[in-house]
Structure 1
Amino acid sequence: MSVRELVVLGTASQVPTRRRNHNGYLLRWDGEGLLFDPGDGTQRQMLLAGVAASDITRICLTHFHGDHCLGVPGVVQRLSLDRVPHPVTAHFPGSGAEYFRRLRHASPFHDVLDLREEPVTSDGPLSTGPFGHLEARALDHGMDAYGYRLVEPDGVRMLPDALAAHGISGPEIRTLQRDGEIVANGRTVTLADVSEPRPGQRFAFIMDTRLCDGVYALAEGVDMLVIESTFLDRDRALAEDYRHLTAAQAARVAAESSVRTLVLTHFSQRYDDPAEFHDEAAAIFSGDIVVAEDLMRVPVPKRR
């Protein structure tokens, strides 16, 4: 059975708090495990969240500020220690390749991991597989930063009543799906006769940035948007100065981009009440809103 969910490992911004670890997010997507922005302490948060090193198939860094990448050494060494048998692909801004090299080899260890570096150097697709395709878009944070978007191809949903009406069953269904048509009871039946369109699911991950074209390109039509909301709108001037978003801005992006579930995270330590982020976003966005907490699990919404 396929599982699609977000496991939240950390939700703080630059300074962790008693309740919030530095960043870390694992997206379980069928057979893939995409680890986004592992900050300091991610390896321990994985233990607390019940995430095994072998669950990770990709590491995706948005940029090289410490709260988004200082967990890389521990995670990479744990992957090697556990002798994870599959390759792990690492995506990160190409201009920071030297930083990634230093993180990967921060201390001596017995390195038996097949870690494949695929730096991001421009907008566009990064990788394609059974999961769909992963793409990146540049953000606006004063240093090279990229957000990520996972897109599952559109497909079809077979209609049992229509199949039965045409007398199609068993292996014939697979033949119809493969070839697009089949002869049943002396009549040609096409895939369109016995199915309906099934939109693919989409996920986007956006961290430290001001509003920019890349934010909207990533968020457009996604089922789940994980997005920083470091500040509340009363501190919008600070958000602009430090190139971050407010909860209101994140909610506006979600509303204008037809997002289904909005996950707010990356909160400044200056705020004590998480409900403020929810209330600010809810005044603008009418969809599902999740104010992320460490170690929570958020299911990707069911298909439209």
Structure 2
Amino acid sequence: MASRELVVLGTASQVPTRHRNHNGYLLRWDGHGLLFDPGEGSQRQLLLAGVPVSAIHRICVSHFHGDHCLGLPGIVQRLSVDNVSHPVIAHYPASGQHYFERLRHATAFHEVAELVAEPVAGPGVVATGPFGVLEARALDHRIDSFGYRLVEPDARRMLPDQLARWGITGPDVGRLQREGTLRVGEHTVTVEQVSAPRPGQRFAFVMDTRLCDGVYELAERADLLVIESTYLAEHAELAAEYGHLTVTQAARVAAECGVRRLVLTHFSRRYADVSGFAEQAAEVFDGDIVLAADLARVPVPARATA
């Protein structure tokens, strides 16, 4: 199984269809699981995808419209049913605290799992950890909404041939990485001499919004961008009225921000056939385009070179 992949749980918008569940996206990132926008039915979709709820470490809700959060009660209760032993952190717009409380305690249940609420009050860093830096940006929807991005810090990749050239082995490699220099005989070797830049990877999640600065900030240099594309270009007026993006707008963001893999989702039920979304996206974005489908697995692209 890929160490970094997106498990798609649902791809519908306001109303689910026979083939598209409400939203739900689980990012598996080196053993850390981030569940984005668990819509109605997410618990069952996890089961069908073969993913246990114990794979969830964080829940990120963009906003409190039902298709993005009505699956939260089932997920919360399942954490306790399965006795998940690690804490699960929940991020969501702070202005929707009352909605979160209602969803969290929607029915009576024996709560044994630890769910830690960390509401998002504004744009900025949400969390840091071995997964990197999780950030939020404000979006332009009909209610308060945030998009999220995961940023892995840039690092350096050690070059075995250069290490061998200087005779650096064992614990000395780690010492050089930590301190930046190492004395070898009469020479001082720098970490730059025996390594190459390793750009960190980026994941971005953009749901219900009109075009705004936050969309571009989230998408900037994303290796994998998951973005709503509710309407085709010919329905741009509807998109603007209801606070959504067209597929052409989403693809243009990807093109302008240097996105490597574009995942289009959140399709309106008015479109029985979504092949037109790929065609319109390809007119403005020449990168990798994925039309999200329920239960699909989308790998994060292989790490880019410097």
How far 1:2 moved relative to its partner? 7.3
Report the equivalent of 1:61. 61
1:277-288 superposed matches below 5 A: 277-288=277-288
Write out per-residue CA displacement over residues 232-272 of structure 1, whole angstroms, 9 at most, x where no aligned residue: 00111111111100110000000000100000000001102
Report the equivalent of 2:266. 266
How far 1:31 moved relative to its partner? 2.4
Report the equivalent of 2:98. 98
Q: Distance in 2 between matches of 1:213 and 1:296?
A: 30
Q: Distance in 2 between matches of 1:240 and 1:130?
A: 38
Report the equivalent of 1:123. 123
How far 1:169 moved relative to its partner? 1.6
Q: Is the 8 A contact 1:2 1:31 kept in 2?
A: no
Report the equivalent of 2:251. 251
Report the equivalent of 2:224. 224
1:46-57 superposed matches below 5 A: 46-57=46-57
Write out per-residue CA displacement over residues 57-80 of structure 1, whole angstroms, 9 at most, x where no aligned residue: 000000000000000000000001
1:69-84 superposed matches below 5 A: 69-84=69-84
Report the equivalent of 2:236. 236
1:1-304 superposed matches below 5 A: 3-304=3-304
Long gaps (5+) in structure 2? none
How far 1:186 moved relative to its partner? 3.1
How far 1:170 moved relative to its partner? 2.0
Write out per-residue CA displacement over residues 198-234 of structure 1, whole angstroms, 9 at most, x where no aligned residue: 1100110000000001100110111110000000001
Q: Is the 8 A contact 1:123 1:136 kept in 2?
A: yes
> What is the identity, as a one-letter code, of the residue corresponding to 1:272?
A
Q: Distance in 2 between matches of 1:11 and 1:77?
A: 23
When normalised by structure 2's length, the TM-score is 0.98
Identity of aligned residues (%): 67
Write out per-residue CA displacement over residues 122-171 of structure 1, whole angstroms, 9 at most, x where no aligned residue: 11001111111101000001100000011010000111111111111222
Q: Is the 8 A contact 2:2 2:299 kept in 1?
A: no
Aligned length: 304
Q: Distance in 2 between matches of 1:2 and 1:255?
A: 26
Q: Is the 8 A contact 2:230 2:267 kept in 1?
A: yes
Q: Is the 8 A contact 1:167 1:185 kept in 2?
A: no
Q: Distance in 1 between matches of 2:51 and 2:70?
A: 18
Write out per-residue CA displacement over residues 79-115 of structure 1, whole angstroms, 9 at most, x where no aligned residue: 0111111010000000000100000000000001111
Long gaps (5+) in structure 1? none
> What is the identity, as a one-letter code, of the residue corresponding to 1:295?
L
RMSD of aligned residue pairs (Cα, Å): 1.0
How far 1:187 moved relative to its partner? 1.7
Q: Distance in 1 between matches of 2:288 and 2:150?
A: 20
> What is the identity, as a one-letter code, of the residue corresponding to 2:108?
P
- Change in CA separation of 1:156 and 1:2 when aligned onto 2, cut-off 3 Å: farther
